[in-house]
Chain A
Amino acid sequence: MIFLQLFWTFLKIGLFTFGGGAAMVALIQNEVTVHHHWLTTQEYTDILAVSQMTPGPIGINTATYTGYTAVLNAGYGHGLAIVGSLLASFAVILLPVLLMICVVRFLQRYRSNHYVNSVFQLLRIVVVGIIAAAALQLATVESFGQPAVSLHFIASIVIFVLVFVLSMRKQSPIWLMLGSGLAGLLLYGLV
């Protein structure tokens, strides 16, 4: 039953996302491409690209789009796929929202707790590794091309390095993505 699995998976992803959108993208990637095989790596990378180019929180955008595609790939129509997208978005925010309401109610008690601080300090370090693993798992042949002397592979490496460096220098992701897409249109369309 894809809908139950989808709900449970995204409930779990929401609860275990520490460190914002990039961490959530990493968890979603692991669940949907490695464990459940609902999506191929290429499909997931395309979803990521679209989520980074559209307004809104990247975690929500990715959850919505992944829910849609997973249901569609399971052989259902567009109507049920929309139900899947709403279900995934709802599930991913449900537990964090309830938790946030509880914490706001009892705010002062938790903030300076010795144990809570220690856990978050370690989590912030671990999340760096989790995001790195997602980037490594996404750098596949489908996204970059065969590592032979092919135009696709060389162009992909150049785009990767350029976007990586420019993103470190705080260039807007929107322009980086649109620029890369334009480069793709010119390179693969004309050559």
Chain B
Amino acid sequence: MVKYCDLFWSFFKIGTFTLGGGYAMIPLMEQELVDRHRWLSQEDFLDQVALSQSMPGVLAVNMATGVGYRLRGFRGAAVAIVANVMMPIIFIITLAILYQFFKTNPLVEHFFMGVRPAAVALIAAPVFKLAQSAGISWKTVWIPVVSALLIWLLGVNPVYVILVAIALGILWAKIGKR
């Protein structure tokens, strides 16, 4: 039986020490869960990664939920989730408060003037990486383009775009089956 405190400590480390978001956590998770503690086999781990990527939500939290639940049920999932997000949330709240006091400081303002275009570039870059992994071809390239234009120019809520995609995906599967 996996101890709660071991589970907590593992996910605490994973959440606290990975910079760069959920995808950066995968190697550290593998090291902790598969190599070090042997809580999961390599196959189970990769299965859980694939599942976490295909479910809605944040990848890291989905991983913590799935692994925690497999090991110790509901309580295991709760322990892993809290351990995973605790320090990031404390960091962010601290920075949010500090930012309110220092945002009028010229040094802070200059720093953010430099950082803003970089933040936008970091959102734009995954578009092309994801386009490759999603298997977009010349036949399907209109789908993301139309989605982007609907949201950007016509102000359509992305939630509706996703709902339509789900409906069309089901329809497509039905037609393909015949």
Contacts and interface: CB of A to CB of B under 8 A. Distances in A.
B70 interface: yes
A168 B125 contact: yes
Interface in B129-178: 129-131, 133-136, 140, 143-152, 155, 157-159, 161-162, 165-166, 168-170, 172-174, 176-177
B33 interface: no
B134 A24 contact: no
Interface centre among B109, B126, B133, B157 (most CB of A within 10 A): B126
Majority secondary structure, B binding face: helix
Contact of A143 (B20, B120, B157, B159): B120
A180 B114 contact: yes
Contacts of A185: 107, 110-111, 114
B127 interface: yes
Nearest to B52: A100
A144 B113 CA distance: 8
Contacts of A80: none
Interface in A16-65: 16-22, 24-27, 30-31, 34-35, 42, 45-46, 48-61, 64-65
Contacts of B114: 155, 159, 180-185, 187-188
Contact of B148 (A82, A115, A130): A130
Interface string A125-139: 111111111111111
Majority secondary structure, A binding face: helix
B16 to A, nearest CB: 6
Given A21-B58, A126-B161, A134 B123 contact: yes
Interface residues of B, number: 99
A160 B118 contact: yes
Contact of B57 (A25, A93, A114): A93
Interface stretch (B2-10, B34-42, B83-91): B83-91
Interface residues of A, number: 115
B154 to A, nearest CB: 10
Interface of A: 12, 14-22, 24-27, 30-31, 34-35, 42, 45-46, 48-61, 64-65, 68-69, 72, 78, 81-82, 85-86, 89, 92-93, 95-97, 99-101, 103-104, 107, 111, 114-139, 142-145, 152, 155-157, 159-164, 167-168, 172-174, 176-177, 179-185, 187-189
24 contacts: A17-B56, A18-B162, A19-B130, A50-B99, A56-B92, A57-B61, A61-B88, A85-B96, A89-B85, A93-B57, A97-B77, A101-B77, A107-B47, A119-B173, A125-B135, A129-B144, A131-B127, A136-B152, A139-B120, A155-B114, A159-B114, A168-B128, A174-B20, A181-B115
Given A14-B56, A57-B25, A129-B148, 13 more contacts: A14-B57, A46-B99, A64-B92, A85-B93, A97-B65, A115-B169, A121-B135, A129-B146, A130-B148, A133-B158, A180-B115, A185-B110, A187-B110
